[in-house]
Structure 1
Amino acid sequence: MLGNLLTGFWSWLTKTAPEIRDIGAANGSVLIVPVGSVEQHGSHMPVGTDTILVSEVAALGAERVDDLPVLVAPPIWSGYSPHHLHFGGTLSLSFETALATLEDVVNTGLENGFDAVLLLNGHGGNTSLIGAAVSELGIDNTDVEVTGLTYFALAVSFVDEIRDSEPGGMAHGGEFETSLMLHLHEDLVGDDREAEPWNEPHEHGTNDLVDPGPLSVYRSFEEYSASGAIGEPDLASAEKGAEIFDRLGDELESVLRELSEQNRS
């Protein structure tokens, strides 16, 4: 199934340079840059989960707006994940290197004439990175609208209609991510779904993947989980994943249409 990555996700890589310039020069053009990570997701999910899922969501969004000049760049596959290093399998950039990488990729992508860019994030640990990149890139590109979004935040409005877990069940490698992977790449999901319940002692800290809470707290991930996963992956299903994915597509389509409309001259 991953053999479709080049044609299904990474539309930039399959275009010629003139084709890319033509899309960028079109009125209301939008460049989507997926930003993922390579980090452990417990014993049942691959280390590329975040990069795979954000790339799939980006491709779905672009497909939903195929009447607009929207192009998906290759994903930035390594993010900011030092808190996962204890478990092995993680490839992390320093914050400074990750920010510089984002800036370089986006600045060179914008050389093709795009009117707007969306940094589409797929990893909670990248949230502050995306915020910093939006500000820095916006300062340097005053003629382009620079935006950032963490894709699973789009699920806040509907996920309670789908989930079976209580708050905390859709944490790292939990019901949410496992359901999406079962829908999209079931062959990559294992049966050993050991995970710990979410246990954040601060009332205003993170409660869930879709409920980050207002209080930022740093802990190395092994303080939260002995298995590397948190939540209730046993409640995941491909059916839930299909519904979550479809409705994420609805939300991202709305974002992209508005972004394109707002940047037409």
Structure 2
Amino acid sequence: MAFDSLGSSHSWAARTYPEVLETAEADGSILIVPVGSIEQHGHHLPVATDTLLVDAVANLGADRVEGDVPILVTPPVWTGYSPHHLSFGGTITTTFEGLLGLLESVSDSALENGFDAILLLNGHGGNIALVNGAVSTIGVAHPETEVLGLTYFQLAGSFIDDIRESDLGGMAHGGEFETSLMQYLYPDLVHEDRFEATAWETEYEHGPSDMFAGGPLASYRGFDEYSECGAIGAPELASAEKGEIIADLLGDELEAILRAVHRHTRGE
């Protein structure tokens, strides 16, 4: 599947400023800000994986509600909070305070156009706490706006066990989940001859053990303590067919959220 976010009718970047204002001022308007990262994803996936995937999911959701919901998607925030990946090379990270300030600034200026709701759509695990915090600080600054945050891959928790073939630990950083989506959306960027990953081992019973088994206990580790190659999981079990199914179901989940936000901001 070839994906081009600039070619979509809901691309902020491809609109003129009167068109942006027209959409923003419509009743129940929604703005999506995808937030990604630039960080190593092992030997088989590009460093922009998180940014590419969250941008695609954001536009997929907007596609589903086009014509019913006034909606725009900004260009993705392409860097995230990724100091734990620096040891491998290829990673560009902000500071925690820097990314929080950037999201606040982007939201402050974007909301000047009159949107009724803003959704920070996150695509990187290291951004989760930060994006949740940004929802609060932006919400305080804009009490008239519905401010929301969502990490897109957490939407898959309701259906992923019907698709996955890997055991616990196989859907992690560069594993079966991300590799399948990349094979479907950006097949030319996946190096299938370089699949290599380490099983996810946790020191704590209450710690995370899979992308969909987060665990209540947070701890900090440099990623080189988890994996020699930078990837965790089972990329060899990935396929474009799985990626298509996952993308379609993610679209269903995000569509339901966007329609609910639209109804709520219209007072329905």
Q: Distance in 2 between matches of 1:10 and 1:253?
A: 14
CA contact (8 A) 2:30 2:70 kept: yes
Q: Distance in 2 between matches of 1:230 and 1:99?
A: 27
Q: Distance in 2 between matches of 1:163 and 1:188?
A: 22
CA contact (8 A) 1:10 1:75 kept: no
Query: Could you tell me which residue of structure 2 aligns to residue 14 of structure 1?
Result: 14
What do residues 205-234 of structure 1 show as CA deviations (whole Å, max 9, x unaligned)?
Answer: 112112211111110000000000000000
Matched, 1:88 2:89: yes
Query: Could you tell me which residue of structure 2 aligns to residue 51 of structure 1?
Result: 51
> Larger deviation: 7-16 or 97-106?
7-16
Query: Could you tell me which residue of structure 2 aligns to residue 182 of structure 1?
Result: 183
Gaps in structure 2 of 5+ consecutive residues: none
Matched, 1:79 2:66: no
The verdict on how the C-alpha distance between 1:9 and 1:15 changes in structure 2, with shifts beyond 3 A counting, is closer
**How many equivalent residue pairs?**
265
The verdict on how the C-alpha distance between 1:197 and 1:9 changes in structure 2, with shifts beyond 3 A counting, is farther
Letter paired with 1:167: L
What do residues 82-136 of structure 1 show as CA deviations (whole Å, max 9, x unaligned)?
Answer: 0000000000000011000000001111111000110000000000110110010
Trace 1:92-171 onto structure 2 (pairs within 5 A).
92-171=93-172
Q: Distance in 1 between matches of 2:33 and 2:9?
A: 11
Secondary structure of 2:113's counterpart equals: coil
Q: Distance in 1 between matches of 2:10 and 2:90?
A: 24
CA contact (8 A) 2:3 2:186 kept: no
- Taking structure 1 as the reference length, the TM-score comes to 0.98
% identical equivalent positions: 58
Q: Distance in 1 between matches of 2:58 and 2:214?
A: 22
The verdict on how the C-alpha distance between 1:99 and 1:251 changes in structure 2, with shifts beyond 3 A counting, is same
Letter paired with 1:198: W
Letter paired with 1:161: D
Query: Could you tell me which residue of structure 1 aligns to residue 226 of structure 2?
Result: 224
Q: Distance in 1 between matches of 2:241 and 2:131?
A: 31
Query: Could you tell me which residue of structure 1 aligns to residue 249 of structure 2?
Result: 247
Letter paired with 1:112: N
Q: Distance in 1 between matches of 2:103 and 2:8?
A: 22
CA contact (8 A) 1:31 1:71 kept: yes
Q: Tell me by how many angstroms 1:6 deviates.
A: 2.3
CA contact (8 A) 2:3 2:185 kept: no
Letter paired with 2:34: P
Q: Tell me by how many angstroms 1:9 deviates.
A: 9.3
Letter paired with 1:182: Q
The verdict on how the C-alpha distance between 1:44 and 1:12 changes in structure 2, with shifts beyond 3 A counting, is same
Q: Distance in 1 between matches of 2:30 and 2:170?
A: 34
Q: Tell me by how many angstroms 1:60 deviates.
A: 0.2
